[in-house]
Amino acid sequence: MPASFALRYTSSFATRFASLAFALLLAVAAAVPAFAATPSDRGKYDALLKRMDEGRAVEANVFSPKAWKRATEILVTAKAVLDQGGRQNDADRMVAEANEYIENAMKAAEVCKLSLKEHLEARRKAQDAHAPTLVPALYKEAETKFLEATASVEGGDVKGGIKKASETRPLFDAAEDGAIRVTVLGTADKLIATALADEAQQYAPSTLDAARAARKASSDILTKDRYNRTTAVAEARRAEYEARHASNIAISVRSLNRNDQAWEKLMLLYEIQMSRVGKALGWDTLPFDRGPIAAADSMLVAVAGLQGEHQRLQGETSQLRGETARTQGERDAATTQLRADMDKMRDDIGRGLQGVLAHLSVTAAQGDPAELTRQLDARATEMLAERASLEERLKAAEARVAELTATSQQATADLEARRAKDERLAKARTMLNPSEGELLVNSTGDVVLRLSGVSFDAGKADLKDAHMPLLGKVQEIMKLFPGGNYVVEGHTDMTGDGTANQQLSDKRAFAVMQYLRQALAIPADHIRSIGYGAEKPIAPNNTPAGKAKNRRIDILILQ
């Protein structure tokens, strides 16, 4: 075989052999699964995540930003290795390296905090004011500058870091101030903007100005002292109220401009709201026929009366509580004394017995039975006398405790009875309109129904149909105080003859008494009438208004 042919044959064979071997390797690779790492162990990685949470809690990411950034980068790489099923040793090595950076960052953070100690307060105050969420732009500007300062300290330039940190103080102050203003004035600003959208500038300018003035007052307070929150908030709340008020007025006036009939509806709407108050106080109708001022005056008079009665009841309640407390104190003192007396009695008896036993021992030792008997009789007599004395003292103490207990119980019962009466009085007062009369309590505790609404014709004593609604209320009030005696008094002004006035007042009182006696089935010996004429005026008789007050029927519910 020629050499050239052999060479070509050998080369061709080698090439075919290599190709065959490569194909065989591919087949084997296809037939045998590739090597896969065992499932990754993420325990160390999870522990590192927990340690990073602890580092964030002490702001290691802020006060040691470089080390923290490097730890974060390594952690991302370690996670990728674990997620892709890489080698466990590589992941563990990365986790250990990241953990070392975190530990260094936490230690460096403590050093950085000490270096920047004088410049941390402004940042803390801004955070306490929720500046990161309320004014994020202002806070981010300050925080970015602050991170430059911490990075300088971490890099060894402590002096430069302190200088940069000092430059952040006004920035954090501005962020804190902005956050406080958003907290205090944010709602007022929104409501004022809403009022402007509701055209309050055109339809409710005075009320809108009041809102703006209150808002400015709040802002001025914060400018002077941003920590004077109480006063600033009070002004801001007033601004919110006036802004809402302006919106409501503007909306109402705009609707009135579109419909002239809406004026009457608006007036009636306000009268309805005032009537709700009147009904809550027991008035069926307020005097709107005399205008809104008259209706308001009626309510103010009634409210003033209720306030005065409330103050009086508070005074009486305080007095009763004081009396009850004093009685309780006396009872406690008596009980303590009683216990002391009983203890003393036991001690005396014990000492007496010990003395007798000791004496018996001495006498027995001397061997004189007669003397022993005599001494025993004498000592027994003394002890009986002492016992009788102690029993008397004990009985006296028990009697005192019983007396104080009864007094305390009576005071409690009186307080409860007075409370119940006060509740009935309050309910009765709500039944009468000011034009019908008023309910009083005289100096002896009797309830007085002063009825100015029972008006008779001149010189007449006949009840009319117009009197029936008021007399119906009188019956309901009298039912609140059952089982008592009643006196119906008639009164006139000084116009005319005194004798005639007395007789007329007597007839009018009798007419009312008869009606009530029959309506409520009151026994005749429980109700009577009397006319006083002009003898007991309650107002001057030189004015029409005073005379009208003096012409009245008083019903006394005797307590």
- What are 245-275's pLDDT values in tens digits? 999 888 888 877 766 666 667 667 777 777 7
Report how far Cα 270 is from the mean position of its chain's Cα atoms: 30
**In this predicted model, which residue has the larger pLDDT, 132 or 559?**
132
Q: Are 166 and 186 in contact (CB under 8 A)?
A: no
pLDDT over 70 (residue 13)? no
What is the token pair recorded at 12?
């061709």
Range with the poorest average pLDDT among 116-125, 228-237, 258-267: 258-267
> Per-residue pLDDT tens for 136-174?
999 999 999 999 999 998 888 999 999 999 999 999 999
Distance CA 255, CA 510 (A): 58
pLDDT over 80 (residue 468)? yes
Range with the poorest average pLDDT among 183-192, 416-425, 476-485: 416-425
What is the token pair recorded at 309?
């009665």
Distance CA 320, CA 312 (A): 12
> What local confidence, expressed as pLDDT, does residue 352 receive?
62
Residue for token pair 């690779």: 29
Instruction: Check: pTM over 0.75? Answer yes or no.
Output: no
Q: What is the mean pLDDT of the chain?
A: 80
What is the token pair recorded at 256?
């009135």
> What local confidence, expressed as pLDDT, does residue 20 receive?
36
How large is the average pLDDT for residues 276-289? 74
Main-chain dihedrals φ then ψ at residue 556, nearest 5 degrees: -95, 125
Distance CA 468, CA 476 (A): 12
Which of 40-44, 266-270, 412-416, 424-428 is the most confident on average?
Answer: 424-428
**In this predicted model, which residue has the larger pLDDT, 434 or 110?**
110
Distance CA 432, CA 284 (A): 9
Share of the chain above pLDDT 70, in %: 82
Distance CA 59, CA 52 (A): 10
pLDDT tier, 22 (very low <50, low <70, confident <90, very high otherwise)? very low
The upper half-sphere exposure of residue 286, i.e. CA atoms within 13 Å in the direction of its Cβ, equals 26
Distance CA 433, CA 288 (A): 13
pLDDT over 60 (residue 26)? no
Task: Kindly state the DSSP code that residue 37 receives in the 8-state scheme.
Answer: P
* Positive/negative CA dihedral, 234, 235, 238, 244: negative
Query: 486: exposed, middle or buried (C-beta count within 10 Å: 0-12, 13-18, 19+)?
Result: buried
Query: 55: exposed, middle or buried (C-beta count within 10 Å: 0-12, 13-18, 19+)?
Result: buried
**In this predicted model, which residue has the larger pLDDT, 420 or 282?**
420
Q: Which of 266, 245, 270 is nearest to 256 (CA)?
A: 266
**In this predicted model, which residue has the larger pLDDT, 453 or 338?**
453
> What local confidence, expressed as pLDDT, does residue 27 receive?
38
pLDDT over 50 (residue 533)? yes
The H or E element that residue 341 is part of is helix 292-366
Distance CA 120, CA 147 (A): 12
